[in-house]
């Protein structure tokens, strides 16, 4: 079995996101980097699929050379192969991103065979375009369903059962493999890397491909802060003595049943 | 006069409120233009579409549209775009809305801009124009340029309240689209129905807990308070990452977006990830030992102190009064 997970390097913001002076990017000077939460679950799922079915997992990212950090993190959790599609993607739009990733997947599959399953995050934490996985699936002529929070891969029958959470329940899909899924956080609980995993990840060879991609039709003019929500917090008390005042407030707001 | 094509989101025949959000947005942004609504499969009652401003309804009828599939809906929408060459294609930015627009855009190799709050003047008629859209789940905005004759955009979910235009029933027509049989592969095959009762997204009160709660067991008083108030327990990402609560309880950008009458945030620092899921709450009460925590400074009300002491005292007080 061969599985692939595509991840994106994004800043890990705290309580506020600042913008660079030119308005083109998030000011990450004092921030760490991570992968989008949905994709963390995608990485974990690939590792679990290999534990269950054997075979190999590959992680791929498109971005600057610094994204090697995110590839090594995935490797420290148990992913065997890592691919960096190297490009300065600051001005890339979703169409171009998808076309470069689809090209790269075709190259990887021509060398080592098709991936039974490819996972994308449902949307990236930063730009949130909601479309790269779908465009890649269309170029590769494979089925894709988004918002997936449960996966059962049946290799014998070449199919994957996928569960999607909707308000008040779940939808069940059954796709023939090779297939692609857009996954969401909650799919699993990602593990933390072990010391052994960290050491092993340093030795994983990173395959570097140059990314081109066909130019898209969307561009960034500038990033903006949303209008500040002014809040004059009313302090209603301190410690246990505040309990009656809290219940008065519940009453006042009409939520005391 | 421009043609605006709006995707009707429905679940096995019942129209979703998100469709009415898209229509309300379209009425404001594209005043005087023709608002065509595309319905994939049968809908029980088409009247709300006209009532909310649709000028025409187009119903695609096909056996393969018996239930939702991102691929069949995407193909039908792509076909309709091809036939009509509308200036704008629009849906609400829900899970399905964004997915189907992306499916159609991929097929036509057209750009698609997700989660737009605002469009430029003359947006429909300019083939080089701009939108304002959300990033980071709503904590940041982006002004984006778009170069296209047909502009495919989704409207941020909950950015507009659906408002009736008190319109007449719109004239409707039907057509049979061509759908590749191959796409039967992504039609919903089954459903699991969750337990009945109030859900996190509909609860009138949410009692939230953060890292400071300390353990899975320590959520018991929060559970008790939530039950007393007819609400639900929510939590931050730190809590689910520690395995103290299931992910379905998580409030935030990658969890559930809540909009209760009151959100009681206990021991939650208020990172961006959590805040964007909680900010639609009508009122927020933060209980925290740190008076400078982001959640405290953004809340409507605060109590400074340890939730482990305060919550049991509140429970006692509520019981005393009932």
- The list of chain A residues with pLDDT below 50 reads none
| Pick from A186, A246, A253: CB nearest B314 | A246
Q: Tell me the residue ranges of DSSP E strands in chain B.
A: 3-7, 10-11, 14-15, 34-40, 56-60, 88-92, 112-119, 128-135, 140-147, 151-155, 172-175, 190-193, 205-209, 232-235, 262-266, 283-288, 301-304
Provide the CATH topology of domain B205-321: Rossmann fold (3.40.50)
Domain-located, residue A96:
yes
pLDDT of residue A82: 98
- The pLDDT-based confidence of B1 (bands split at 50, 70, 90) is confident
CA B37 → CA A85, B88, B90, B98, B112, distances in Å?
Answer: 41, 12, 9, 16, 18
What average pLDDT does this structure show over B199-218?
A: 95
Query: Is B301 in Cβ contact with A249 (below 8 Å)?
Result: yes
Q: How many CB atoms lie within 10 A of CB B192?
A: 12
Find chain A residues with C-beta within 8 A of B278's C-beta: none
| B302 contacts A233 by C-beta, under 8 angstroms | yes
Query: Is B194 in Cβ contact with A13 (below 8 Å)?
Result: no
Domain-located, residue A254:
no
Q: In 3D, which of B158, B149, B168 has the Cα closest to residue B48?
A: B168
The residue among A13, A247, A248 with the most chain B CBs within 10 A of its CB, best to mutate, is A247
Residue B196 has pLDDT above 80, yes or no: no
The residue among A213, A242, A244, A245 with the most chain B CBs within 10 A of its CB, best to mutate, is A242
pLDDT of residue B66: 94
d(CA B259, CA B204): 8
Tens of pLDDT along B209-259? 999 999 999 999 999 999 999 999 999 999 999 999 999 999 999 999 999
| Pick from B113, B185, B199: CB nearest A175 | B185
Query: Is A254 in Cβ contact with B261 (below 8 Å)?
Result: yes
pLDDT of residue B322: 83
How far from chain centre, in Å, is Cα A71? 13
Question: Residue A90: which CATH number?
Answer: 3.40.50.620
Chain B: give the shortest CA distance to residue A234, in Å: 5
d(CA A73, CA A201): 7
Domain-located, residue A178:
yes
Tens of pLDDT along B267-316? 999 998 899 999 989 999 999 999 999 999 999 999 999 999 999 999 99
> Element (H or E) spanning B314, and its range?
helix B307-321
Find chain B residues with C-beta within 8 A of A163's C-beta: 192
Domain that holds residue A153: 2-210
Count of the separate structural domains present in chain A:
1
Residues B263, B264, B268, CA angle at the centre, nearest 5°? Answer: 110
Domain-by-domain residue ranges, chain B? 3-186, 205-321
| Pick from A172, A189, A238: CB nearest B188 | A172
| A55 contacts A112 by C-beta, under 8 angstroms | no
| Pick from B106, B114, B247: CB nearest A128 | B114
State the DSSP code for B127.
Answer: S
Find chain A residues with C-beta within 8 A of B248's C-beta: 165, 186
Domain-located, residue A61:
yes
Domain-located, residue A230:
no
Residue B195 has pLDDT above 80, yes or no: no
Domain-located, residue A244:
no
Domains B3-186 and B205-321 share a fold: yes
Q: Is A237 on the interface with B (CB under 8 A)?
A: yes
Tens of pLDDT along B24-65? 999 999 999 999 999 999 999 999 999 999 999 999 999 999
Domain-located, residue A8:
yes
Provide the CATH topology of domain B3-186: Rossmann fold (3.40.50)
Q: Tell me the residue ranges of DSSP E strands in A134-194.
A: 144-154, 159-166, 169-176, 179-183
Chain A: give the shortest CA distance to residue B171, in Å: 31
């Amino acid at each position: 079995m061969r599985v692939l997970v595509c991840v994106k390097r994004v800043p890990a913001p705290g309580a506020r996101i600042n913008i660079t002076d030119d308005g083109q990017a998030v000011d990450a000077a004092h921030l760490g980097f991570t992968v989008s939460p949905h994709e963390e679950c995608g990485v974990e799922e690939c590792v679990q699929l290999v534990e269950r079915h054997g075979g190999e997992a590959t992680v791929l990212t498109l971005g600057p050379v610094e994204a090697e950090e995110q590839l090594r993190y995935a490797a420290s959790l148990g992913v065997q192969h890592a691919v960096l599609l190297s490009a300065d993607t600051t001005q890339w739009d979703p169409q171009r991103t998808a076309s470069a990733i689809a090209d790269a997947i075709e190259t990887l599959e021509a060398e080592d065979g098709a991936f039974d399953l490819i996972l994308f995050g449902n949307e990236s934490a930063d730009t949130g375009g909601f479309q790269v996985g779908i465009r890649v699936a269309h170029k590769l002529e494979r089925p894709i369903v988004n918002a997936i929070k449960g996966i059962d891969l049946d290799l014998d029958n070449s199919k994957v059962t996928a569960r999607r959470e909707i308000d008040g329940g779940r939808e069940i899909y059954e796709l023939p493999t090779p297939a692609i899924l857009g996954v969401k956080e909650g799919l699993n609980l990602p593990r933390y890397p072990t010391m052994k995993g960290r050491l092993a990840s340093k030795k994983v060879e990173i395959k570097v491909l140059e990314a081109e991609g066909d130019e898209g039709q969307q561009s960034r003019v500038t990033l903006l802060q949303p209008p500040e929500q002014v809040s004059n917090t009313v302090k209603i008390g301190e410690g246990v003595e505040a309990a009656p005042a809290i219940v008065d407030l519940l009453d006042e707001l009409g939520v005391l049943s | 006069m421009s043609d605006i094509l709006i995707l009707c989101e429905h679940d096995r025949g019942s129209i979703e409120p998100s469709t009415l959000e898209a229509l309300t947005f379209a009425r404001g942004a594209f005043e005087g233009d023709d608002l065509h609504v595309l319905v994939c499969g049968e809908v029980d009652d088409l009247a709300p579409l006209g009532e909310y401003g649709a000028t025409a309804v187009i119903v695609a009828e096909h056996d393969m549209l018996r239930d939702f599939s991102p691929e069949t809906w995407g193909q039908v929408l792509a076909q309709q775009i091809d036939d009509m060459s509308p200036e704008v294609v629009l849906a609400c930015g829900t899970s399905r809305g964004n997915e189907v627009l992306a499916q159609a855009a991929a097929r036509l190799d057209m750009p698609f801009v997700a989660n737009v709050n605002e469009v430029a003047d003359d947006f429909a008629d300019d083939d080089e124009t701009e939108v304002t859209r959300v990033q980071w789940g709503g904590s940041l905005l982006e002004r984006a340029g778009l170069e296209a004759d047909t502009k495919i955009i989704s409207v941020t979910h909950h950015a507009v309240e659906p408002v009736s235009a008190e319109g007449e029933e719109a004239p409707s027509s039907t057509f049979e689209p061509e759908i590749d049989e191959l796409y039967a592969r992504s039609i919903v095959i089954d459903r699991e129905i969750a337990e009945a009762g109030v859900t996190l997204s509909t609860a009138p009160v949410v009692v939230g807990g953060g890292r400071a709660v300390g353990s899975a067991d320590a959520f018991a008083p929060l559970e008790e308070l939530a039950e007393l108030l007819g609400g639900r327990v929510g939590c931050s990402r730190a809590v689910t990452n520690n395995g103290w609560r299931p992910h379905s309880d998580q409030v935030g950008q990658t969890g559930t977006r809540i909009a209760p009458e009151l959100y009681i945030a206990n021991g939650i620092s208020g990172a961006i990830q959590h805040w964007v899921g909680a900010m639609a709450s009508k009122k927020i009460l933060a209980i925290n030992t740190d008076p400078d925590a982001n959640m405290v400074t953004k809340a409507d009300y605060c109590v400074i102190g340890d939730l482990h002491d305060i919550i049991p005292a509140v429970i006692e007080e509520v019981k005393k009064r009932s």
